[in-house]
Amino acid sequence: MRLDEILPDRLREGLTPAERRLLARVADGEEADFSAPDEGQNDPTQGAAWGPERTIRAAFLHWLCTDAQAATCVPPKGIRIRGARIEGPLDFEGATLLHRLSLIRCAIPEGILLTDARARRIDLSGSYIRGLHADGLAVEGDLVLSGARLENPNGDALSADGMTVEGSVFLDQGFHATGAVQLPGARIQGALVCTEARFENPNGIALNLEHARLGEIMDDEGSWPQRGRLRIDGLEYEGFAGDRTPKDARRRLEWLRRQLPDFRPQPYDQLPGSSAGWAGRRMPWRC
């Protein structure tokens, strides 16, 4: 049984050249790479100019990721796409993605909806996404947004309230969010990696980690939001990791000062080496 043989009639009509190529590459266990030879034509923020040879309909991709019969034709490496434009909103709300999904340096101008979805591993590295909504998402492996560009300046660039990730979450290597990154109540068993990241929101909070539970935090000073743009009250984590991550008291206190101006004692108590109930008294670290 082949993917092109079981493709529904509603999707067979209007099949793009990119979709035909994708079916063949997935069946062979290979990445479908639609990148242009000229690297200057591969900027996902300019994906509106990409033609049908690089266009995949959102409904087509949804079928490929969630249809049980199609899943039997997809090798364990999963669905791997590079340099394509996704046409239409990519709506996986409440769905189960049956294989790993990688959308590398893709243009997704109408956003992704993953609310209450289930997935094995999702990699959106280097992609341009006009809003990623993932409240209640459950991921068995990693959620990778390395180098991704998320935009929603009048709302949430990334909304992942109560998300559960058994691996790590990567917001690094040039990750750039314009709009709020909301992770309140998230559960991340591995690390939250935010090195070489930018969190910007001209209209309010840039990064919200309230009441999240993390394994480790990996970040750098350049990735910290501006003062008054960070929320971490109730955040729990095991510690800081990575060679570039500040671990001394002076710099971590500066991180805490990026919060809203109203004083909350819990983030100070949570710092490694602090005394429970410190709440503004002398820090028991050497600076």
Quick check: 206 and 232 in contact, CB under 8 A? no
Mean pLDDT of 195-201: 97
Mean pLDDT of 76-90: 97
Q: What is the pLDDT of residue 275?
A: 41
Q: Which of 203, 218, 215 is nearest to 154 (CA)?
A: 203
Q: Which of 242, 184, 230, 170 is nearest to 205 (CA)?
A: 230
**Distance separating alpha carbons of residues 183 and 4, to the nearest angstrom:** 39
Q: What is the mean pLDDT of the chain?
A: 93
Reduce the DSSP state of residue 81 to 3 states and report it: strand
Reduce the DSSP state of residue 103 to 3 states and report it: strand
Amino acid (one-letter) located at 170: F
Burial class for 248, CB neighbours closer than 10 Å (0-12, 13-18, 19+) = exposed
pTM: 0.94
Mean pLDDT of 240-269: 93
262 confidence band (pLDDT: 50, 70, 90): confident
